[in-house]
Chain A
Amino acid sequence: MRELILGAPVTVVWLALFGGWTAIDSTSAGQVMISRPFAAATLAGWIAGDPVAGVVVGIVLEAFHLCILPVGAARNPEAGPASVVAGASYALAPHQPSVLLMAVAFALAWEWVSGESVRQVRQVNVRLVARDPEPRSRTIERRHLLAVLIDFARGVLLVVVGFVLLSLLLHLSIPRWGLGERIPHLVLGAVVVGLFASTLRFFGTRVKLFLAGAVVGLLLLRLHP
């Protein structure tokens, strides 16, 4: 690991633009859920050249987000840009459980930075659109679209800064990793299983249906071992 894992400049540009899209998708525009970790990390991995690596990150991060309800003005982590960073970085890095664990851990921290930036943008929006008692229709349109643009720029910035930071951390951490590969493999597997188990309570403790699903899972394993 002598070089930073950054990829080609054009890849970074595409990732940054995709990160901007995921940022506005989570609240400001569309909400087609391209910003969900499962989609965002996978597509970021595809942009970086390895969608299978991206989908692995996407599944782990999605498991962390299944039980989050974005209700009202609650403080929640924002998954989109962080998932782009983690999915692309893992796609470009050596595919080892230790690297996957570091990418996931970074994304989980970066989501909170991203969530805090959402709150800051919402404060900016107060000054931008909410303080004019008699706004003109053209002004409303202009300012509303400017708010969306600011949100997009926030996503671009989060992806670029996050991507460089995670590359730097991987560059420093991979040679110093002292736990082998079995422990991170086991930890990540157990974490994902535990998080899927937590959906039982999220969906209202439907024990029989959950067990039926587990049986379906066993049958699927038999069919596709």
Chain B
Amino acid sequence: MNHLPRSLQARVILRSFLVQGSWNYETLLGTGFAFTMLPVLRYLYPEDGAALRAAVARHTTVFNCHPYLATVALGAVTRLETEAVDPSMVERFKSALRSSLGSLGDQLVWGAWRPASALLGVVLVLTGLAWWVGVLVFLVVYNLLHLGLRIWGWRVGTHSGLEVGRALRDLPLQPLARRTADVGAVLGGAALVLAAAPAAPDPDGLAVVALAAALGFLLGSRTRKLFAGVVGAVWILAIFSGWIR
């Protein structure tokens, strides 16, 4: 893959930030995949309009994966295109790759890294640090992995080609997700205590906060709907109460 100009590779990585730009219910991020691949396709088929058009059509078909790991697929497919691998094999390869890239990214990024980074920022603000410190730390920590995954994904994809599945298995992404969830759990506990202190200044408050914490432990992700309803109900009740007075 060394023969691809660096500027072209950089353009593909930059375009990958828009890979979900035209996400839709028919081809999912298929068009985005073709949009991101276009610099490579134009480089490979500079004079041949028909071949370019056929290549573009091949890559606008259904595709989906985690957006940050799309560069893994883009890199691997770029390698297959440069090696002039049979298009039907490229298509099979893409469909084999998409579910594993989706679940890996969901587990690591959405399921662990993002909530842990957000909790880190929140905990910093709750401990009394300036608002901008919390927000900056959240964005920097989160994007260290984000940007790292995009660049690493392109490298591993272009380097491994059809062997990218093995390369993914060898990398410690799942252990990283587990360790991040460990850190997230610690930050969750710290955030709970730091938020409870100002919310429960007296025994009545402490009882309400303890009840809410117990509900949170019991209900897990279902807590959100219940508490959103409570917040809305208090608004309605307050207006009704003001009106009857």
Contact = CB atoms under 8 A, between A and B. Distances in A.
A122 B1 CA distance: 35
Interface string A35-63: 01011001100100001101100110011
Contact of B188 (A126, A151, A194, A200): A200
Interface string B119-141: 10111011110011011001100
Nearest to B55: A137
A221 B31 contact: no
A187 B57 CA distance: 55
Interface of A: 24, 27-34, 36, 38-39, 42-43, 46, 51-52, 54-55, 58-59, 62-73, 98, 101-102, 104-105, 108-109, 122-123, 125-126, 128-137, 140-141, 143-145, 147-148, 151, 173, 175-179, 183-204, 206, 209-218, 220-221, 223-224
Nearest to B42: A137
B23 interface: yes
B23 A55 contact: no
A58 B194 CA distance: 16
Interface string B193-226: 1111111100011001101111111011101100
A195 B128 CA distance: 20
Interface residues of B, number: 104
A186 B235 contact: no
A190 B20 CA distance: 37
A38 B199 contact: no
B238 A197 contact: no
Given A212-B189, A217-B193, A38 B118 contact: yes
A198 B214 CA distance: 9
B13 to A, nearest CB: 13
B187 interface: yes
B35 interface: yes
A224 B212 contact: no
Contact of A198 (B121, B193, B224): B224
A33 B139 contact: yes
Contacts of A178: 238-245
B171 interface: no
Contact of A196 (B24, B28, B195): B195
A71 B215 CA distance: 25
A125 B227 CA distance: 34
Contacts of A195: 216, 223-224, 227
A134 B224 contact: no
B235 to A, nearest CB: 5
Interface in B162-208: 181-182, 184-200, 204-205, 208
B125 A59 contact: yes
A54 B131 contact: yes
A30 to B, nearest CB: 5
B41 interface: yes
Nearest to A42: B135
A224 to B, nearest CB: 4
21 contacts: A31-B17, A31-B67, A52-B131, A59-B122, A67-B115, A67-B220, A122-B25, A123-B24, A125-B22, A125-B23, A136-B56, A140-B56, A173-B235, A176-B243, A179-B237, A191-B231, A194-B212, A197-B188, A199-B119, A202-B221, A213-B192
